[in-house]
Structure 1
C-alpha cells in the first residue's frame, strides 16, 4: 500500500504566508510593491548624501554670483548720487573702450590656447593609453596632474628665467635675433600651453579608454584604414569629450590671472587684469561695481560655452557607457 508524498511548501509560498489559495510564486505586482519602498528610501538617502555638496555649491558659487549680479546693476558708494541705486552704466562701460578690448583679448587668447591644447593633447593622450609600459603611463599621468596645477608667479618666474629677454635658453639659442619676445601675446600663449596640454591629457584619457576594441577590429575587418577608423568611428564618438576638454581649457585660460599679471602686466590686455585693476583702484578709484560688471561678462561667456557643451556630453555618454 503506497501513500502520496506530502507536498513541501516552496520558499515563495512561505514568503507569501503559505495560506490556502496562495500561489507558489510571487506575482509581479507583489514584487513591485515590495521593491518600491526600498527604492524610495534609497532615493531619499541619496539626496541626503548630496545635500552637503549642494550647500557648498550654493554658498561657494550661488551667493557670489548673486552678489556680482546685484553689484553690476547698482551704483557705487563713491558715486556722486550715492550708492545702491539701479543703473546699467556699469554693464555698458564694461563693453566699451579698453574693457571691451580686454574682453576680446581674453576670449582670443583662450580660444587659441584651448584649440592648440586640444590638438596637441589628444595624440599625446592616445600615446599614453596605447603604451605597453605601465610605468611610463603612470609617470605621464602623474606628471600631468602636477603640471596642470602649476601656475601663478612660479610659472612666470620659470619662463622669464629660461625664455625671457635675458633667459638662459634665449641667450644660448639667440632667439631674440629671430623675433622672439616672451612678453607678448604669443609668448603668453606658450606659457599657458605649459599647463593646458597636461590638463587636456588628464581630461581626454578616460574617453580614449572608453573606445571599445571591438569597434576598431570591426572597422579593420571591413577594410577600413587607420585614418578611416579615426575619421568615421573614433572622432565622432570622442567629439563631445573633445569639446568638453576644449571648454575646460578655455575656462582655465580665461580665468588665469597671476601668471599674466606677473609676466606681462598691462602690455597684453586681459579682462582678468582689468578686474584686478578696478578692484584695487590702480587706474580709477571707486570702480568696484564696474569690476563686478566685468565679472558678470565673464560669467555670461562661460555660460554660453557650457550651453554648447552639455547637450553633446549627454550624447557621448550613450556611446561610452
Structure 2
C-alpha cells in the first residue's frame, strides 16, 4: 500500500518541497483575485465620494486660508468677530439642539412602543418603511409640504389663528419655525438609528431582575437606561449633526439668512464683511470643526454601544 508524503510528515515538521506550498500559493492567489474584484466594485462609489464630497469639501475649507491675492493668511478668521456671523452660529446650534432633543425623545418613545409588537408584523414593517422614506424627505419638497399645510390661507393656519391668534404662516418662515421640518425628518432618523440598540435588550435580563425580586422600574433604572444611554446620546449627536448641516429646506423657507448654512450662501453671492476675503471658506471651516468634534463623540459612543451588543 502506498502512503502519501503529507500523511507521514511529523507534526511541526516542514513539508517536503512541492507538496503543501503549491496549494497554499493557489489559495492565496484566488483570495487576492477576489479581493481585487471587490475593490473594483467599490471603485464607482469611491470616485463619487472623491469628486462630489472630498474635493469640494477640501476646496471650500482651504479657500478660507487664502486672501484675495491667493496668499496664505489667517486674517480671514476675523470674520468670527462679526456679530452677525456669531449670531448665525448660535442660531444654528440652538435650532439643531432643540430639534435633535425633540426628535430623540419622540423617536425613543416610538422605539419603546415598537418593542411590544411582533418584529415581523405589519405594524413594524409599516413603521420601518415609513421611517426609511421620511428620513430622506427634505429640501424643496418638504418645504412645499409645510407651506401647503401651515402657510397663509391654509386650513390649519385659519383654525390656529382663529383659536389662538397665532399666525402659523409667519412662524414657518422664521428660524424658530425650522424646528417643525427639522423634527419631521429627525424623528424617523432617530427610529432608524436607535431601534437596533433597543432590540439588543435581551429578555433574559428582565427575567433575571424579576427572579431577584426587582420590579420593571428597577430593570429600566439599573439595566435598561444605562445600557441604552450610549446609543441614545450617539443618535442625539447624529440628529444634531444632520440638522446643523441641513440647507435645502431652510433655503426654501427663509431667504434672508439666520443660520450658518444660509450665511455661507450669502457670502458666496455677495461679500458683506469689509476687508475679509473668502468668508464662505472660513465659515465652512468653522462648521467642519464642529462636525469633527461631533463625529468623534459619536464614534466613541458607538464603540461603547457595540461593546455590550457583542
Match of 2:278, SS state, is: helix
Say if 2:99 and 2:179, in contact at 8 Å, map to a contact too: yes
Displacement after TM superposition at 1:231 (Å): 2.4
Q: Cα gap change, 1:182/1:285 in structure 2, threshold over 3 Å: closer, same or farther?
A: same
Say if 1:91 and 1:293, in contact at 8 Å, map to a contact too: yes
Superposition TM-score, scaled by structure 1 size:
0.80
Matched, 1:130 2:116: yes
Match of 2:214, SS state, is: coil
Give the Cα–Cα distance (whole angstroms) in 1 for the partners of residues 76 and 297 of structure 2: 28
Match of residue 158 from structure 2: 171
Give the Cα–Cα distance (whole angstroms) in 1 for the partners of residues 7 and 223 of structure 2: 57
Displacement after TM superposition at 1:56 (Å): 4.7
Say if 1:164 and 1:182, in contact at 8 Å, map to a contact too: yes
Matched, 1:120 2:106: yes
Offset from partner CA, 1:226-269 (integer Å, 9 cap, x none): 22222221222222222221122112211111211222332x61
Give the Cα–Cα distance (whole angstroms) in 2 for the partners of residues 192 and 145 of structure 1: 15
Displacement after TM superposition at 1:195 (Å): 0.8
Displacement after TM superposition at 1:135 (Å): 0.9
Say if 1:161 and 1:168, in contact at 8 Å, map to a contact too: no
Match of residue 139 from structure 2: 152
Superposition TM-score, scaled by structure 2 size:
0.82
**How many pairs were matched up?**
297
Aligned ranges 1:191-210 → 2 under 5 Å: 191-210=181-200
Match of 1:240, SS state, is: helix
Correspondence for 2:264 among 272, 275, 292: 275
Match of residue 102 from structure 1: 88
Correspondence for 1:75 among 67, 87, 94: 67
Q: Cα gap change, 1:179/1:63 in structure 2, threshold over 3 Å: closer, same or farther?
A: closer
Largest Rg, 1 or 2: 1
Match of residue 75 from structure 2: 89
Match of residue 3 from structure 1: none
Match of 2:304, SS state, is: helix
Aligned ranges 1:1-321 → 2 under 5 Å: 14=4, 17-19=6-8, 22-23=9-10, 26-27=11-12, 42=31, 46=35, 49-50=38-39, 52=43, 56-76=48-68, 83-132=69-118, 134-173=121-160, 174=162, 177-178=165-166, 181-266=171-256, 269-281=258-270, 289-321=278-310
Say if 1:159 and 1:191, in contact at 8 Å, map to a contact too: yes
Q: Cα gap change, 1:121/1:236 in structure 2, threshold over 3 Å: closer, same or farther?
A: same
Match of 1:84, SS state, is: coil
Displacement after TM superposition at 1:320 (Å): 0.8
Give the Cα–Cα distance (whole angstroms) in 2 for the partners of residues 157 and 54 of structure 1: 34
Which runs of 5 or more structure 1 residues have no equivalent in the other structure? 1-5, 77-82
- Between 1 and 2, higher relative CO (CA 8 Å, sep ≥ 6) is seen in 2
Match of 2:165, SS state, is: helix
Of 253-262 and 295-304, the range deviating more from structure 2: 253-262
Match of 1:306, SS state, is: helix
Say if 2:260 and 2:283, in contact at 8 Å, map to a contact too: yes
Which runs of 5 or more structure 2 residues have no equivalent in the other structure? none
Displacement after TM superposition at 1:122 (Å): 0.7
Displacement after TM superposition at 1:105 (Å): 0.8
Give the Cα–Cα distance (whole angstroms) in 1 for the partners of residues 111 and 13 of structure 2: 49
Match of 1:17, SS state, is: helix
Give the Cα–Cα distance (whole angstroms) in 2 for the partners of residues 226 and 125 of structure 1: 17
Match of 1:131, SS state, is: coil
Give the Cα–Cα distance (whole angstroms) in 1 for the partners of residues 259 and 112 of structure 2: 33
Of 202-211 and 221-230, the range deviating more from structure 2: 221-230
Q: Cα gap change, 1:62/1:155 in structure 2, threshold over 3 Å: closer, same or farther?
A: closer
